[in-house]
Amino acid sequence: MPDDATSSAHQRLEAEGQTPKTETLRQLRQLAEGGDPTAQNDLGWMYQNGKGVPQDDTEAIIWYRKAAGQDYAIAQDNLGWMYQHGRGVSQDDVMAVQWYRIAAEDGNLAKAQDNLGWMYQHGRGVSQSDTEAVRWYCKAAEGGYSAAQDNLNWMYENGRALPQNDAEAIKGCSEHH
């Protein structure tokens, strides 16, 4: 898992499949086969997206699972996404929520917190709860994930689990922890 000092910018680079310390697919594969969870996640991303390798969701799942098994939060979040969308695995919202929750709680990954909020907002794999959605969106927004702020704004604009004025909405985030 990335430690708390891992920047959002670095998380975005990793989530986009860009391992800063490697230059070639051969080097990336060597690192992945050697057990490096960042390289395993990135190789999974490459297979998922067909970047530099043939697109293969099943192979992506294999590499994501290896990295997730080493508590690598970005890979855990990626597994959640694959389950949510039925890519390389049977579509399963409950499994998606489980992987998002691990990455959100244990890994403190803002993107996973946002994804978990979305699942609560829409009642996918969990009982629908605007309160829980806002709680997770708040955590993600506080972690610097801009999409979570957009989701909070939508919840606010639509009167879902947020007070109807800006000062109270901001205060509301701090009360969700």
Q: In this predicted model, what pLDDT tens digit does every residue of 75-129 receive, in sequence order?
A: 999 999 999 999 999 999 999 999 999 999 998 999 999 999 999 999 999 999 9
Q: Which two tokens stand for residue 88?
A: 């390389």
Q: What's the mean pLDDT in 5-34?
A: 65
- Domains within the chain, CATH numbers bracketed: 1-108 (1.25.40.10), 110-177 (no CATH)
Q: What is the pLDDT of residue 160?
A: 86
pLDDT of residue 15 exceeding 80: no
Q: In this predicted model, what pLDDT tens digit does every residue of 132-165 receive, in sequence order?
A: 999 999 999 999 999 999 999 899 889 887 665 5
- Which has the closest alpha carbon to 60: 86, 97, 87, 33? 87
CB atoms within 10 A of CB 161: 20
- DSSP 8-state code for residue 24: S
**Do 138 and 152 meet the contact criterion of CB atoms below 8 Å apart?**
yes
Q: What is the pLDDT of residue 161?
A: 74
Q: Read off the pLDDT band of 170 (50, 70, 90).
A: low
pLDDT of residue 6 exceeding 50: no
pLDDT of residue 31 exceeding 50: yes
